Amino acid sequence: MTSKGDLTKARLAESMLELIQTSGFSGTGLNAVIEHAAAPKGSVYFHFPDGKEGLGVAAVELAAKQFETLISEAAASTGNASDAVRAVIAALSTIVSGSDFRLGCPVSVVTLEMGAESERLRLACVTAFESWIAAAASLLEAGGVDAEHARSLATVVVSTIEGAVIVSRAMRSVQPLASAAEVVAALIDQRSAKAGETR
């Protein structure tokens, strides 16, 4: 059974995650997180003794889990890797456009703002990106791509999606994400076809 304290801690991380997306890491104050989470005043330092940095790490870890879940659900509901990636990008497009282009990837936000300032936050972002690359690589390997090429292509896929989210927000259009989906899916199909020829 989840305790009240655990629920408060999770709520604080969720609020931090959402506020990072809309206001940035630097623009998100602890009072704003407390208010957004409707949490007791002293709860942040009780659950996160190291303050904003620790809360930021928790938010990045939560974002990592959410995107991993999105990848696994897409993989389970589609027939191949390229369709799974299309499904992931379609889901992201819905999130971005549904928020009136206010929500993006919190991990990229934290990386850009804090990567040179906090080694702990930078490493949390590395871990998040690595988890997504690993999940995408597993998906590609299941489609027949060898491990080395799967890792390389998965890195391209994640990097392309990250860039497309940023450009979509800037343009206030999901067209960059749609274009990314087409190009990435074509790359995956091409690599999968090559893998099939060599087997």
Ordered domains of the chain (ranges, CATH): 60-198 (1.10.357.10)
Check if the beta carbon of residue 134 is closer than 8 Å to that of residue 186. Answer: no
Q: What is the C-alpha separation between 92 and 69, in angstroms, rounded?
A: 13
Write down the pTM of the prediction: 0.91
pLDDT in tens, 59-85: 999 999 999 999 999 989 987 899 999
Would you state the structure tokens that stand for residue 116, as one six-digit string? 């040179």
Check if the beta carbon of residue 19 is closer than 8 Å to that of residue 28. Answer: yes
Q: What is the C-alpha separation between 136 and 129, in angstroms, rounded?
A: 11
Predicted pLDDT of residue 41: 84
Predicted pLDDT of residue 112: 95
Q: What is the C-alpha separation between 126 and 107, in angstroms, rounded?
A: 9
pLDDT in tens, 10-34: 999 999 999 999 999 999 999 999 9
pLDDT in tens, 37-62: 999 988 999 999 999 999 999 999 99
pLDDT in tens, 122-177: 999 999 999 999 999 999 998 888 998 999 999 999 999 999 999 999 999 999 99
Please name which of 172, 145, 159, 147 lies closest in space to residue 105, comparing C-alpha atoms. Answer: 159
Mean pLDDT of 185-196: 87
Torsion of CA 60, 41, 35, 107, to 10 degrees: -10
Predicted pLDDT of residue 198: 60
Tokens 């990045």 correspond to: 60
Position 2 pLDDT exceeds 80: no
Q: What is the C-alpha separation between 107 and 61, in angstroms, rounded?
A: 9
Check if the beta carbon of residue 52 is closer than 8 Å to that of residue 42. Answer: no
Please name which of 118, 135, 134 lies closest in space to residue 57, comparing C-alpha atoms. Answer: 118
